[in-house]
Amino acid sequence: MQPCQHDRRGGDCRAVQDQLQNVREIFSTDGAFAALLQNGGVVAWGDPVFGGDSSLVQDQLEHVQEIHTCGFAFAAVLHDRRVVTWGASGYGGDSTEVQDQLENVQEIYATHWAFAAVLSTRRVVTWGVAESGGDSSLVQDELRDVKKIYANEKAFAAVLSNDTVVTWGDAKSGGDSSHVRDRLKNVKEIMGTAEGAFAALLGDETVVTWGAMEQGGDSRHVEHQLQGVQSIHATRCAFAALLREGRVITWGDARYGGDCWQVQEQLKQVQQIHGADDAFVAVLRDGAVVTWGDPRCGGDSSRVQEQLRCL
């Protein structure tokens, strides 16, 4: 009997079952798993294209401290803060060209197709698909004193120590922020929709957006309402901002949570918001739950609303 696609992509771990002892944590790409063991070793299984075969680097996978993933590859940080990668070579699985730069790595971030590593010097090293963030050469001189990096599927946004922002990757997905660059100051946090937009929360509790317009990159129609913003949340194609007074403002693709008008009257005294791929859920101060977005993906909770009153 031929293995099914799910078996090839990690659904069958029989070949490595005897190695899966004392597992500390498990990580996944789109088609494979990697288990980090208590002794710092790694066991991988699933589709080799997605990183399910680590045999070429297995002798290097010792004293692993952490593992990071993109859609097609794994990146392991060793105890000496060097990096070992495996998976699809052109999609982050081969870091040979930048290997000599990957020393004293402090953090690793990923789009769906590329990795970005922040070094102890707060400089950045990137690899993977160039158009999706794997090539940062055009902004390399600006990537100094990097504090944190945010990502969506195809672009990166780095917040520097002076709270300004540098972006790279797919221009339409937020890799080009030149039209809002003058407004990206005193940035406290950035959120990204997977499909290609960013929203930055500023120190004055306002919001700046850029990237794919229909996926949340255009907030002009709600900009006057985005005052006193406490946090920003995202689905795959939409944003939701929680205001200081407990109200919610949404924008982006209406089908996936960008329009909450049907539940707007219920969205008062909101304490928390959580975003799934295609829907949002808000928890109110009294413990009630309000949902919106794609009904098939959690946006319609009417059938279990009575049960949710117990939260």
150 inside domain: no
Judgement on whether residues 9 and 129 belong to the same structural domain of the protein? yes
Judgement on whether residues 289 and 212 belong to the same structural domain of the protein? yes
pLDDT grade, residue 4 (50/70/90)?
A: very low
Model's pTM, two decimal places?
A: 0.92
Residue 3 has pLDDT above 50, yes or no: no
DSSP notation for the chain: -PPPHHIIIII--GGGGGG--SEEEEEE-SSEEEEEETTS-EEEEE-GGGT---GGGGGG--SEEEEEE-SSEEEEEETTS-EEEEE-GGGTT--GGGGGG--SEEEEEE-SSEEEEEETTS-EEEEE-GGGTT--GGGTTT--SEEEEEE-SSEEEEEETTS-EEEEE-GGGTT--GGGGGG--SEEEEEEETTTEEEEEETTS-EEEEE-GGGTT--GGGGGG--SEEEEEE-SSEEEEEETTS-EEEEE-GGGTT--GGGGGG--SEEEEEE-SSEEEEEETTS-EEEEE-GGGTT--GGGHHHHTT-
pLDDT grade, residue 9 (50/70/90)?
A: low
The model's pLDDT over 213-263, given as tens digits with 9 standing for 90+, comes to: 999 999 999 999 999 999 999 999 999 999 999 999 999 999 999 999 999
Residue 282's domain spans which residues?
179-311
For residue 205, give the CATH number of its domain: 2.130.10.30
162 inside domain: no
Residue 6 has pLDDT above 90, yes or no: no
- pLDDT on residue 8: 55
- pLDDT on residue 254: 96
The model's pLDDT over 169-186, given as tens digits with 9 standing for 90+, comes to: 999 999 999 999 999 999
Number of domains the chain is built from: 2
